[in-house]
Structures are given as C-alpha cells and as structure tokens.
C-alpha cells in the first residue's frame, strides 16, 4: 500500500526541522569551542553547518560505535581549518561528549586545531589545503574496485582550495575511474584568508569547471534544506560519475555581525559581549538524540596483514640487473603473496618496473598518470582503508608531492614509496630527471624508513621488508644494471648494513649505498693491488642506520669513515652516518654530488662529480696519508 503524500510531506518537514536545529547546534558548539580555545576558525564552520548537518544526520551511514567499521561512509574535511564543526558533528551524533568540545586545541586533547588521526574518527590529516579530494579518491577506488563495498566517500572542500592543482588532478582521475561513490561538496562562501576568492559566488563557473572534468554537478543554496537534501539524493543515485555539489554559503552564517564580513578568518569571538551576542542570535541549544542509519553489514574481507613469505630471489650470478628491476620483480611476487598489496604509478611503470605487478595483478594496479600529488594522495586513501600501497615514480618527481608525503606522516599512513632513476648515474637524461634530494626528503619525515639497495637481490628482499613494516618506507632504486652481490638467501633487516669487504689490515672504512657500493668495490680492488686494505660497508638501511656497526668499523680502521653517495651532500647518506657517530671522535669524510649535474654517460658523471672508484681511491690516500 502506498504511503499517503501528506504523511510523506510531514516526515520531510520534520526531518528538515531536526536538521535545522542540528545545524544551529553545530554553530553554537563551533563558536563556543573556539572562544574557549581563544583561537580557531569559527566563521568557516558557520558557513558549512547546514551541509554538515545534512551529511551527518541524514545522508551518511555509519556505525556510531565503531569508527573502523569497513562499510562506514567516509567523510573527509578537506577544509581542515573547519575542524570545530567536525568535532561538533560527532558530539551531536553521540560519539564524543559535548563537554569535550571545550578542550579544542589543548595540548592534551585529541581535538586538534586541524584534524589528525589522534581522534579515531579522523582517518586522514587535513589542513594543508587541496588534498582532501585525492584522499577521497583513494578510498573510493578501494570501495569500488577492491572491497567492492557500497560505502560512499564524502569530501567537503573550501572554495579557496580549488585553486590548488591537486584538486584537478583528483577530479580528472575520479572521472576516469567513474567513481560514482565519490561525492564532493564545495562550500562557496567567497571569502579566503586575505581576500575574496577567485570566483566569489559564481556557482555556474565552479559547476562548469567540474563538468569539464566529467563530473555530475549540482549548484545549490547551501543554507536551504529544500535544495541540500535533493542534491544529496541525486548524488547518491549516480551510477557512472562522481558528483560535485557546489553550495553557495555565507561565511559566519547565523550571526549578523559575522555574516559575509571581511577580516574574520581565523579569529575566535572574544568571551563577553561578542560571544554573548552571537549565542543570543543563534538561539537555544537542543541536544536531542538522532538515529544515524547504520551501514549494511559486510564481510571483513582479507583484513590488514603484513607481508607473507615471497618466492626467494633468483638471478644468475653472472648477470647484471638494475635494482629497479629487482623492485619490480619483488613487488610482483609480494602481490602474489599478499592480497592487500596494491600498486600505483605515475605513467613511469615501464621504468620503475611496477608494470611487473600490473601484469600479474591488474585488478590491484591503479594508473595515476602524470599527476604525482594525486598519486600520493590516492595512495594515502588506500592505505587508510587497510591496503598496503606501493607508490612509484622517478625519485626526482616525488619532490612535486612532498607536501602530500609530509601529510602522509601526520595521517599515520602505512604507505610505501619507491623512487627510481636516482642520482647522476641515470646518465644522458640530465639533471631534471636525477633524484638527488630524495634521501634528505625522506630522512626528514618522522619515523620514515629509508632503504637503498645495491643489487637486485637486496632490492627484492627490501620490498618484502617494506611491506612488513608498519608505516612509511622509502625505497630508492637505480637505473644502471649492476652485478649481483648477494646470495639469494641473504636477509636484509631494516636498520642493518652489510660489511662486504673486511680484513685486519683495513686502514679506512668506505660506506656506500646503491651504485656507489659497486664503485667502492672497484676502489677496494684497485687499492688491494697496491697493498692497501679498506673495509667496505653497504649501508642499505639509511634510516634507521646501524650506528653500532659503523662505530665498530671506525674503531678497527683508524676512526676513519669515508661516505660516498649518488646524492647531494646535504641530508643524504653521509649526513646519516655523521648523525650516527657525531659523539664518538670519529672522522667522517663525505663524497657526494656537488653543483648542478649535466648530461653524460653514467661513468663520466660519476667521475666528474667525484663519486667514482678513482675518486674513492684518491680520498682514501689523501685522508690516510698512504
């Protein structure tokens, strides 16, 4: 029997009244919490209140007792400075106590100034603007193609952040993958931090821009529930496109002296007259419980697991193999051993050798094209849904996504980065393609692991080590083919190193990584022919570094360490060694690439920049006086 229209209309009116009151509550909480903190961004919370109310208390399905429910709808606050309204929504949903909102921004509070996973309902850190849509893309890829779940991903963006290129990288990829489970909302309040935004209230232009990228777009009044609710329903009904709802709002909505007013960005209302006046205008707070629709039940699936045992490396000992080749082979084997491993690449898969994974596991490979910010952002999103993503491109191009890499640490993401074509050893392609800053970049990331294999065997083994490690790992691979150094059963634990040449007569220790290990071995041979013995260490783990092994080697070799690396001197392998032995009265001499390189053959460039076997021989003789 059909439900009478009158009854339906009454239900809809009741719903809208509840959502309006919830929006008022969100505004009150946001103003009160920021005033208590004495800082924050209340006006941007007020513009988004009606949208957030409709999302959290009508559109989204989630288990209020379980933040980790695999089928919860996901919400990403890309405009992270509106964090107070996010916490307010969870308080209104009964997830956190309302009183806790007044701990906002305190040092012992989980409610930080911009969202981080210290609050368990925040999956990803935001606040560096322009990244939320990429994070949502990764989560939507997981839901549609990997878990095959029916959860949706909602991303709330500020209008100002749509000037960021990363937003449009994500927009292009979301359309390419037809992510109908990805719904964005742009809060167009027309006020940036220092001035009006680029398009102010021009909703049509925003819609046209996203439409040009292949999205369904819906322009609405972001304070009118008669438009908000149908827009969300239309977005949820999409079968082949992502949807962007473009909502015209007013910053400071609900408080007359704040509404659409300049110079209120990032300013809390002072306690007293301003706060009292604002609260009086908003009206009373009604903390009425509301029933949140739970997600549909799903199997937990394969779950999050560390790397399983892979097939061992298998290379002819007389064959030269590039470490990037070892990476590709190891990654493909890892994908067979562990169904949670996924791979993403930025249209360099035939150079990074990620294509070996793609060929074996095409359903778990995602091409991100030449859009490195989105490459990393999507990887973070996948990581936060329990996958183990390996993100690969040229080492040099990861610098373009360094902000996303930095934010992956704040998001506590279990993500692995692989940078190939490092150093001058790539040869003729020249300096724009040479990763010479990458070790320094990743050493600066808190708790990140930095690995630098010197042959294909160690590269394969370190891929497995990276997957088994919980957290960020960077694996640096080289272009040139190099000899196999290690037996196939050799192990390479994180934090270790290999002493590959040693005698009781060693007068100095050469510490190298990657291609320079092979130069150090050539130097060892040249010096041995002259009756001079040196120790050679393969420092495959640059962070954490094996400080005890370095100290022991120095103690045996006249307290003399010589580091040699295909990297700039600042922040690289040499500095890792210096940091490890700085208090030990050990002399560290660094050989590294200086100046801007140029095109040339690899061996010419190693010689020119003083990191060749000949340069090592010269350095050993000069520092030891032999």
Confidence check: pLDDT of 304 > 70: no
Confidence check: pLDDT of 45 > 80: yes
Give per-residue pLDDT as tens, 215-233.
999 999 999 999 999 999 9
DSSP-derived pairing of the beta strands 416-420 and 216-221: unpaired
Q: Span 450-461, mean pLDDT? A: 98
Q: 216 in the Ramachandran plot: left (φ > 0), alpha (ψ -120 to 50) or beta?
A: beta
Q: Span 593-620, mean pLDDT? A: 98
Confidence check: pLDDT of 302 > 60: no
Give residue 299's pLDDT. Answer: 74
Q: Span 282-308, mean pLDDT? A: 77
Q: Span 56-79, mean pLDDT? A: 97
Give residue 290's pLDDT. Answer: 86
Q: Span 324-349, mean pLDDT? A: 98
Confidence check: pLDDT of 42 > 80: yes
Q: Span 587-597, mean pLDDT? A: 97
The answer to whether the Cα torsion of 499, 502, 504, 510 is positive or negative is negative
Give residue 300's pLDDT. Answer: 61
Confidence check: pLDDT of 4 > 70: no
Tokens of 38: 């004495």
Give residue 289's pLDDT. Answer: 81
Give per-residue pLDDT as tens, 227-261.
999 999 999 999 999 999 999 999 999 999 999 99
Tell me the pLDDT band of 2, cut-offs 50, 70 and 90: low
Give residue 10's pLDDT. Answer: 82
Tokens of 420: 């190939």
Confidence check: pLDDT of 157 > 80: yes
Tell me how far apart the alpha carbons of residues 251 and 284 are, in angstroms, rounded to a whole number: 21
Decide if 99 is catalytic.
Answer: no
- The owner of tokens 């080492």 is 395
Residue 100 gets which letter from DSSP? G
Q: Span 299-327, mean pLDDT? A: 80
Work out the burial of residue 537: count CB atoms within 10 Å of its CB; fewer than 13 is exposed, 13-18 middle, 19 or more buried: buried
| Choice among 161, 227, 372, 565 that is catalytic | 372
Give per-residue pLDDT as tens, 483-508.
999 999 999 999 999 999 999 999 99
Q: Span 287-295, mean pLDDT? A: 89
Please give the mean pLDDT across all residues of the chain.
Answer: 96
DSSP-derived pairing of the beta strands 365-367 and 341-345: parallel
The share of the chain scoring above pLDDT 70, in percent, equals: 97
In sequence order, what are the residues at sequence separation of 6 or more whose Cβ sits closer than 8 angstroms to the Cβ of residue 346?
368, 369, 370, 371, 372, 375, 392, 393, 397
Give residue 527's pLDDT. Answer: 98
Residue 451 gets which letter from DSSP? E
* 97-106, 293-302, 558-567: least confidently modelled range: 293-302
> Residue 544, preceding bond cis, omega within 30 degrees?
yes
Q: Span 393-415, mean pLDDT? A: 98
In sequence order, what are the residues at sequence separation of 6 or more whose Cβ sits closer than 8 angstroms to the Cβ of residue 499?
535, 536, 537, 549, 553
Confidence check: pLDDT of 303 > 70: no
Structural domains in the chain, CATH included, are 19-282 (3.40.50.970), 321-482 (3.40.50.970), 498-624 (3.40.50.920)
Tokens of 564: 């040699």
Task: Answer whether 0.95 is exceeded by the pTM.
Answer: yes
* Cα angle for residues 408, 415, 299 (degrees, 5° grid): 110
């Amino acid at each position: 029997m059909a439900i009478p229209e009158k009854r339906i209309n009454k239900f809809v009116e009741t719903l809208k009244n509840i959502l309006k009151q919830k929006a008022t509550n969100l505004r009150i909480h946001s103003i009160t919490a920021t005033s208590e903190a004495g800082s924050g961004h209340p006006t941007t919370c007020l513009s988004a209140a009606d949208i957030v109310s409709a999302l959290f208390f009508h559109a989204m399905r989630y288990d209020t007792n379980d933040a980790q429910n695999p089928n919860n709808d996901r919400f990403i606050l890309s405009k992270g400075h509106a964090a107070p309204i996010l916490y307010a929504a969870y308080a209104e949903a009964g997830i956190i106590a309302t009183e806790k909102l007044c701990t906002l921004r305190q040092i012992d509070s989980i409610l930080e100034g911009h969202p981080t996973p210290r609050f368990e309902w925040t999956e990803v850190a935001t606040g560096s603007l322009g990244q939320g849509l990429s994070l949502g893309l990764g989560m939507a890829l997981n839901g549609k193609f990997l878990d095959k779940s029916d959860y949706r991903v909602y991303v709330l963006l500020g209008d100002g952040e749509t000037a960021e290129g990363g937003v449009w990288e994500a927009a292009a990829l979301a359309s390419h993958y037809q992510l109908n489970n990805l719904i964005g909302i742009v809060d167009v309040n027309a006020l940036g931090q220092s001035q009006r935004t680029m398009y102010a209230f021009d909703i049509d232009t925003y819609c046209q821009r996203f439409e040009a990228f292949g999205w369904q777009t819906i322009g609405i009044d972001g304070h009118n529930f008669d438009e908000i609710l149908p827009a969300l329903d239309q977005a949820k009904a999409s079968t082949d496109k992502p949807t962007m709802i473009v909502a015209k709002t007013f910053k400071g909505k609900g408080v007359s002296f704040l509404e659409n007013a300049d110079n209120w960005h990032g300013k809390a209302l002072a306690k007293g007259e301003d706060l009292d006046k604002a609260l009086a205008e908003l009206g009373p707070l009604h903390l009425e419980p509301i029933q949140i629709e739970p997600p549909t039940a799903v199997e937990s699936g394969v779950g999050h697991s560390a790397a399983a045992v892979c097939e061992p490396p298998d290379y002819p000992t007389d064959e030269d193999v590039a470490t990037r080749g070892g990476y590709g082979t190891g990654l493909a084997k890892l994908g067979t051993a562990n169904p949670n491993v996924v791979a993403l690449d930025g249209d360099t898969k035939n150079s990074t050798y990620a294509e070996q994974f793609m060929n074996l596991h095409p359903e778990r490979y995602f091409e991100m094209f030449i859009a490195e910010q989105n490459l990393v952002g999507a990887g973070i999103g996948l990581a936060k849904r329990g996958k183990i993503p390996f993100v690969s491109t040229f080492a040099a191009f990861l610098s373009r996504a360094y902000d996303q890499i930095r934010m992956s640490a704040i998001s506590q993401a279990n993500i692995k980065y692989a940078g190939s074509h490092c150093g001058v050893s790539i040869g003729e392609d020249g300096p724009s393609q040479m990763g010479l800053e990458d070790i320094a970049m990743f050493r600066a990331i808190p708790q990140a692991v930095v690995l630098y294999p010197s042959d294909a065997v160690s590269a394969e083994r370190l891929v497995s080590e990276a997957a088994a490690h919980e957290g960020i790992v960077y694996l640096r691979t080289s272009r040139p083919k190099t000899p196999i150094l290690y037996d196939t059963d050799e192990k390479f634990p994180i934090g270790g190193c290999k002493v590959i040449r040693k005698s009781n007569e060693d007068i100095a220790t050469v510490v190298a990584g990657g291609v320079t290990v092979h130069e150090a071995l050539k130097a060892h041979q040249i010096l041995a022919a002259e009756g001079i013995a040196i120790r050679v260490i393969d420092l495959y783990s640059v962070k954490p570094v094996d400080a005890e092994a370095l100290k022991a080697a120095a103690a045996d070799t006249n307290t003399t360490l010589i580091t040699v690396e295909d990297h700039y001197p600042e922040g690289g392998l040499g500095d890792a060694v210096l940091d490890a032995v700085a208090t030990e009265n050990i002399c560290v001499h660094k050989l590294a690439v200086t100046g801007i390189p140029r095109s040339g053959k690899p061996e010419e460039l190693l010689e020119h920049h003083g990191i060749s076997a000949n340069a090592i021989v010269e350095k050993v003789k000069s520092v030891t006086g032999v």
